Chains A and B, each alone.
Chain A
Amino acid sequence: FCTLVKILCVSGWLQPCDLPSPQFTRDTLKGHSRPESSSRSAFLDQRDTLWMRSAGAWRDAGLYGLLDEITNSAEEVPRFLAVGSACVLALLRWASSFHGSLFPHLTLSSDEMVAEFSQMLDWSDSALRSFAWHPHTDKFAVALLDDSIRIYKSNSSATPTLKHRCQRSVCALQWKPLCGSALAVACQSCLLIWHVDPTSLSTRPSSGCAQVLSHPGHSPITSIAWSPTGSLLVSASPVDTAMMVWDVAAESAVPLQRVGGGGVTYLSWSPDGSRLLAATPSALFRVWETRMWTCERWPCLKGSCQVRKLRKLSITVFELMYAFIYFFKLTFFSQTSWDPRGERLAVLLKGDSQAVNHPSVIAVFKTRSSPVFELLPCGFVMGEAGAEPRFMQFHPHFQHGALLTVCWSDGRISHVPFYFSSAGLLGGDSPQQALASNTADHSSNKLYTEQIS
């Protein structure tokens, strides 16, 4: 099965058309020197009144901070208050540590959590934080270490830079489908929707162009997904068991809560918009159907029994695709990307950071979905010496085949074209449309559990 047909070693890049391939180094981008809370040590300690300190603690760190402050200033407050708050604090800590032992990711700090669940490998160390192609035009957005976002277009030298006060620790980017301008940004504390006028020549759009969407308890946001029709945006946070379905124009959200799993880390719509995959930090994921928004749980049992069970269910290709991608992602692949025609599958194999010649590498497979699902190894994509792939995405509408864009560890973004003529679809419609038509009539298309029962 694992015969390598061709090894595609890319050293001198074959650049298709004139897509910009910028490079960013860590030195030129200055990240935040220190978070706000740690800047306190730079100032002299000043004794405020207890009220002021309590108010400050409440504002900075919420209930925890307030209780902590009261406990620490035991000599100024009545004894029963100090003892009471110490007890409550201990109780809270015990409860949260119990909760954390159930879901270990909850003990991480916000930044660590973003790094853990980001699609970008080695997120905290990378100069590139996130990357997104526009679904319809030759335009992409890159989030950088210094929390700015740059937008590159083909045939244009103008690269707008987006900066916003709330734009911290960008974890995901996605352009709105069926729209020329809107870009959703998942930040540490909120969700930003930038409206970047494609015709404007300005290089620094003001922060007035951004909508800030936030919901209490819903941060950090690690994954966002626009519905393929562009009408809804779904966001997920590993600390929130609810995922938010946003009506962006109205700035209102409908929380969809399901207990279990401890949060939602990754979201992905099916190409026809009828299903939504929501992965949790634990061994569980859900598939939502998007007509009435009901879901079913798929526990990820180890190994092949699940795959066998899937095969028995005669499910559609899309679902098999997702199941497949998800299982392998859980085991040893860190990232998979399917080209929009459904003919190439790129898999990012995570290397071993301890071993010397065991770098991360991208393996490319040829896929075919009809008459039976086939997966043929096609080759590897490797970078320059010392550069490892961190993120990859297929260009959404490359004319002559498929175009894989890779973000490397040295801060370079490069484009790897695959020239081929579509095998089974000369003159036919694309497999994605075929996939879409499989699941077009949702009313007759039930969830799998309903099908078996």
Chain B
Amino acid sequence: MFSLKQNSWFIRKVVIWRAVASIAWSVLLLPVTAAVFVLLSRFSLFHPIQWISDCTSLLAASSTVFSLVVLCGVVLITGFFNLEFYTLVPAIPCSRMALLGTVLHPRQCVHSLVYCTMGMLVMWCASVTIGGRYSTLGTPCRQSESGEVVTCLNEYHLFILLAGAFMGYSHSFLGVVQNMYYVSFQPIQQYKYPRFKGCLPMVVKCSVIQALYSARNFAAFYFFFGYAPKTWISSTLNLQIDSSIQPLDSLTGLLDFSLLYHLSISGTFLYLTWYLTVLLFRICVTEAYSFPVQSTFTEDAEQSLPKVLAEKNTLVMKFLALQDLALLSHHSLSRRLEVFSLSQPGGHAHNWNAISRECLSLLSELTQRLVAHQDAVASNGRVKSQSASSDTRSASSSSSVVSGTEDIAETPRLSVPLRTPGSVFKSSVGGANNALTAPFTPDVNSPFSSPAIRRLVGQQDRQSPCFGTEQSPHIMRRGPKLWSASTESQSSGSPPASPATVPSPPAASQKPSFLAQWLQNRREQLPEASSQALFADSQAHIWALQGLSHLVAASFSEDQFGVVQTTLPNVLSCLVVLLEAVDRHFKLPHASSKPVRTICSMGDSTYKTLRFALRAALKTAIYKITTTFGEHLNAVNISTEHRKRLQQFLEFKD
């Protein structure tokens, strides 16, 4: 379950320590944010001196120290969750059903539960800190008829606690929807402190906005459903409900400025604590790491760049190695010379060969993936076969080490119908993408790919008049739902080319049930999701392209032994083939449509534009090589078509 057991040296020696550093920093920041929170929560405009003295005495009080200890515990758990859940390749659900499946997945439920509890804990601390009417759950009150003093339910305290649970759940929910645990890399390198400073205003703004949204939603929620938890708590804990006080689940009770102010302030504090932890984790884990190009000692051999690049199981190490490659190719002359050097006894160019082989295999893997996708996609731009059938899946997941995210990463590839060459499919399943697994990321459509539902949807498909008609794409295009009709037929194993064998359905005898129709609508592909999913890990490809092109261009003047020249034809043809595949992919509908930009959210949406970044990086890489080599390229042994394409680049006509 946890990745710690099977991990490589990199996780043990680097990633863990980076995570620990980020958690330590967030714990250190906690008193600062808590102090600001105390100042804001006790704010009074007209008694500034009393306000300041109140706050200072409160900050030194034992209850505050205890709250801080509890908050430290919350931060530790958040940091642990960050470490366990983080992913460098986002999970992109390709349909609404898949998204729903992710949200309702058991692991996600556990996650939500933990976050609800943490939200309540933080809010409890907040209410204790604010004090006054919020501090305890029970308050003494006088019963109206008898006049004796009993313990009543303090609804304000309950309100704040429930708000914490609500915010915790919405954080966990939005974490899935917005890919909160996706860690992206910045286009430029910065030291940690300037980067943190630069991101801080954004994080504060996000947490304020998120807190205001959550406060609004929670107020509405409490207005409608607040009665239930109130009565439940009061009956379980045997607390009276004070009828003399205005109940909070009414309009007049909610329109209490001070209550709403305190709610949003503590909500902001809650979100800020979490977001800062996430931010610090992102900053620490994406920090560049410098791998030695060649190791002096044999025991360090596994830590050298060529070995690390070939590593498939530790995705974060592979990404950082590729980043390091891009950086060294760009910035460091001495390390480039190491790459171009020959091995001492024997005179082999081991370093360059290993690095270029790894980059080229990464790029050609992307090419194959794109070609397979293009083969699979029908003319209307949707995936023809949703072969998310459980058999394929179980086969693939049993072969892999950790099944979790693989399914998500695999979703676009699983949608490749099985008639595509098996080797392609296999290699992409068993290859580098096993490494895309981060444990814990929930399995997307498993709860919903049950045969029952498929039968439910499939039943309706049988009624469609052109069921299984691959021959008539026109009709398929006309009916918006029919693509999945043919889908189901394929995935359920009936041969698509022989519609005659299909028992002709009793036409229109039974209407499709409402549920079936609804389900089918949900199962329709979200536009451009499949395209995003195809390029989900393209940051690695971008670095490979940058590193490769810069190294090749630098070799023009720096490569003394001509080691790069031998692989130049391979590099060029690989780039051109990839360019053709990418160009063809961008001709598909939805592929070139820009995603809507999210205004302010902690979730990183960089992955949505990775395909554009990849295309730009690819063209720049080819231009880099062609402008450096110029007419010398004519002497390189490549096929005529590729030469023609490169000629366009030489003339800057692409």
Residues of A at the B interface (CB closer than 8 Å) are 134, 136-137, 178-181, 198-199, 229-232, 245, 247-252, 254-257, 274, 290-294, 440-444
Given the interface pairs A178-B620, A179-B619, A251-B609, the reply to whether A441 lies near B194 with Cβ below 8 Å is no
Contact flags B622-654 to A (C-beta < 8 A → 1, else 0): 011001000000000000000000000101111
B613 CB-CB contact with A under 8 Å: yes
Contact of A293 among B190, B332, B624 (CB under 8 A): B190
* Contact between A292 and B187, CB atoms less than 8 A apart: no
21 contacts between A and B (CB under 8 A): A181-B654, A229-B620, A229-B624, A230-B623, A232-B187, A245-B188, A249-B612, A249-B614, A249-B615, A249-B617, A250-B613, A254-B186, A256-B198, A290-B188, A292-B189, A293-B188, A294-B191, A294-B194, A442-B331, A442-B332, A443-B332
B616 CB-CB contact with A under 8 Å: yes
* Contact between B613 and A249, CB atoms less than 8 A apart: yes
* B443-461, CB < 8 A from A: none
* Contact between B623 and A179, CB atoms less than 8 A apart: yes
CB-based nearest A residue for B654: A180
Given the interface pairs A231-B187, A245-B187, A254-B188, the reply to whether A136 lies near B627 with Cβ below 8 Å is yes
* B538-581, CB < 8 A from A: 546, 550
B469 CB-CB contact with A under 8 Å: no
A176 and B627 CA atoms in complex are apart in Å by 14
* B593-607, CB < 8 A from A: 594, 597, 606
* Contact between A250 and B609, CB atoms less than 8 A apart: yes
* B188-215, CB < 8 A from A: 188-191, 194, 197-198
A44 and B200 CA atoms in complex are apart in Å by 47
* Contact between A250 and B653, CB atoms less than 8 A apart: no
A276 and B623 CA atoms in complex are apart in Å by 23
A444 and B337 CA atoms in complex are apart in Å by 15
A248 and B191 CA atoms in complex are apart in Å by 22
* Contact between A443 and B620, CB atoms less than 8 A apart: no
Interface centre among A134, A231, A248 (most CB of B within 10 A): A231
Given the interface pairs A229-B620, A254-B186, A294-B191, the reply to whether A249 lies near B609 with Cβ below 8 Å is yes
Shortest Cβ gap from B488 to chain A (Å): 37
Q: Determine the chain A residues whose CB is within 8 A of the CB of B189 once the complex forms.
A: 291-293
* Contact between A230 and B620, CB atoms less than 8 A apart: yes
Contact flags B161-198 to A (C-beta < 8 A → 1, else 0): 00000000000000000000000001111110010011
A35 and B614 CA atoms in complex are apart in Å by 40
Interface size class of B (residues with CB under 8 A): 35 or more
Given the interface pairs A229-B330, A441-B333, the reply to whether A248 lies near B616 with Cβ below 8 Å is yes
* Contact between A247 and B652, CB atoms less than 8 A apart: no
CB-based nearest B residue for A181: B654
* Contact between B617 and A255, CB atoms less than 8 A apart: no
9 A-B pairs with least C-beta separation? A180-B652, A247-B187, A441-B333, A249-B613, A178-B623, A249-B616, A250-B609, A249-B612, A137-B652
A179 and B621 CA atoms in complex are apart in Å by 10
Q: Determine the chain B residues whose CB is within 8 A of the CB of A293 once the complex forms.
A: 188-190, 194
Q: Determine the chain A residues whose CB is within 8 A of the CB of B606 once the complex forms.
A: 250, 252
Shortest Cβ gap from A218 to chain B (Å): 14
A245 and B187 CA atoms in complex are apart in Å by 9
Q: Determine the chain B residues whose CB is within 8 A of the CB of A250 once the complex forms.
A: 187, 606, 609-610, 612-613
Shortest Cβ gap from B472 to chain A (Å): 33
* Contact between A441 and B624, CB atoms less than 8 A apart: no
B258 CB-CB contact with A under 8 Å: no
B334 CB-CB contact with A under 8 Å: yes
Q: Determine the chain B residues whose CB is within 8 A of the CB of A257 once the complex forms.
A: 197-198
* Contact between B331 and A443, CB atoms less than 8 A apart: yes
CB-based nearest B residue for A178: B623
A309 and B396 CA atoms in complex are apart in Å by 68
Q: Determine the chain A residues whose CB is within 8 A of the CB of B652 once the complex forms.
A: 134, 136-137, 180, 198
A178 and B628 CA atoms in complex are apart in Å by 10
A193 and B497 CA atoms in complex are apart in Å by 47
Q: Determine the chain A residues whose CB is within 8 A of the CB of B610 once the complex forms.
A: 250
Q: Determine the chain B residues whose CB is within 8 A of the CB of A255 once the complex forms.
A: 198
Q: Determine the chain A residues whose CB is within 8 A of the CB of B191 once the complex forms.
A: 292, 294
* Contact between A231 and B331, CB atoms less than 8 A apart: no
Interface centre among B187, B606, B617, B653 (most CB of A within 10 A): B187
Shortest Cβ gap from A208 to chain B (Å): 10
Shortest Cβ gap from A444 to chain B (Å): 8
* Contact between A179 and B620, CB atoms less than 8 A apart: yes
Shortest Cβ gap from B93 to chain A (Å): 21
* B398-418, CB < 8 A from A: none
Contact of A254 among B198, B333, B624, B653 (CB under 8 A): B198
Q: Determine the chain B residues whose CB is within 8 A of the CB of A249 once the complex forms.
A: 609, 612-617
- Give me 6 other A-B pairs in contact (C-beta within 8 A), A229-B550, A232-B188 excluded: A231-B187, A248-B616, A249-B617, A251-B594, A254-B190, A255-B198
* Contact between A247 and B331, CB atoms less than 8 A apart: no
* Contact between B620 and A231, CB atoms less than 8 A apart: yes
A245 and B186 CA atoms in complex are apart in Å by 10
Shortest Cβ gap from A143 to chain B (Å): 21
A224 and B607 CA atoms in complex are apart in Å by 26
CB-based nearest A residue for B611: A249
Q: Determine the chain A residues whose CB is within 8 A of the CB of B620 once the complex forms.
A: 178-179, 229-231
Interface centre among B188, B198, B330, B624 (most CB of A within 10 A): B188
A442 and B327 CA atoms in complex are apart in Å by 11
Q: Determine the chain B residues whose CB is within 8 A of the CB of A291 once the complex forms.
A: 189, 327, 331
* Contact between A443 and B334, CB atoms less than 8 A apart: yes
Shortest Cβ gap from A388 to chain B (Å): 33
A293 and B186 CA atoms in complex are apart in Å by 12
Contact flags B209-238 to A (C-beta < 8 A → 1, else 0): 000000000000000000000000000000
Shortest Cβ gap from B321 to chain A (Å): 18
Interface centre among B197, B327, B330, B331 (most CB of A within 10 A): B331
CB-based nearest A residue for B554: A440
A302 and B617 CA atoms in complex are apart in Å by 44
Shortest Cβ gap from A288 to chain B (Å): 10
A449 and B546 CA atoms in complex are apart in Å by 31
* Contact between A292 and B190, CB atoms less than 8 A apart: yes
Q: Determine the chain A residues whose CB is within 8 A of the CB of B188 once the complex forms.
A: 232, 245, 254, 290, 293
* B267-317, CB < 8 A from A: none
A199 and B645 CA atoms in complex are apart in Å by 13
CB-based nearest A residue for B652: A180
CB-based nearest B residue for A182: B616
Q: Determine the chain A residues whose CB is within 8 A of the CB of B649 once the complex forms.
A: 180
* Contact between B198 and A178, CB atoms less than 8 A apart: no
A181 and B609 CA atoms in complex are apart in Å by 19
Q: Determine the chain B residues whose CB is within 8 A of the CB of A247 once the complex forms.
A: 187, 613
Q: Determine the chain B residues whose CB is within 8 A of the CB of A252 once the complex forms.
A: 187, 606, 609
A113 and B332 CA atoms in complex are apart in Å by 40
A431 and B565 CA atoms in complex are apart in Å by 26
CB-based nearest B residue for A211: B594
Q: Determine the chain A residues whose CB is within 8 A of the CB of B197 once the complex forms.
A: 257
Given the interface pairs A247-B613, A441-B333, the reply to whether A199 lies near B653 with Cβ below 8 Å is yes
CB-based nearest B residue for A290: B188
A443 and B330 CA atoms in complex are apart in Å by 11
Q: Determine the chain B residues whose CB is within 8 A of the CB of A248 once the complex forms.
A: 616
A440 and B194 CA atoms in complex are apart in Å by 25
* Contact between A251 and B597, CB atoms less than 8 A apart: yes
A443 and B337 CA atoms in complex are apart in Å by 14
* Contact between B624 and A178, CB atoms less than 8 A apart: yes
Q: Determine the chain A residues whose CB is within 8 A of the CB of B334 once the complex forms.
A: 441, 443-444
A372 and B286 CA atoms in complex are apart in Å by 44
A292 and B188 CA atoms in complex are apart in Å by 8
CB-based nearest A residue for B290: A443
Q: Determine the chain B residues whose CB is within 8 A of the CB of A198 once the complex forms.
A: 652-654
A274 and B333 CA atoms in complex are apart in Å by 13
A146 and B649 CA atoms in complex are apart in Å by 33
Q: Determine the chain B residues whose CB is within 8 A of the CB of A274 once the complex forms.
A: 331
A230 and B546 CA atoms in complex are apart in Å by 11
A292 and B288 CA atoms in complex are apart in Å by 10
Shortest Cβ gap from B271 to chain A (Å): 21
CB-based nearest B residue for A180: B652
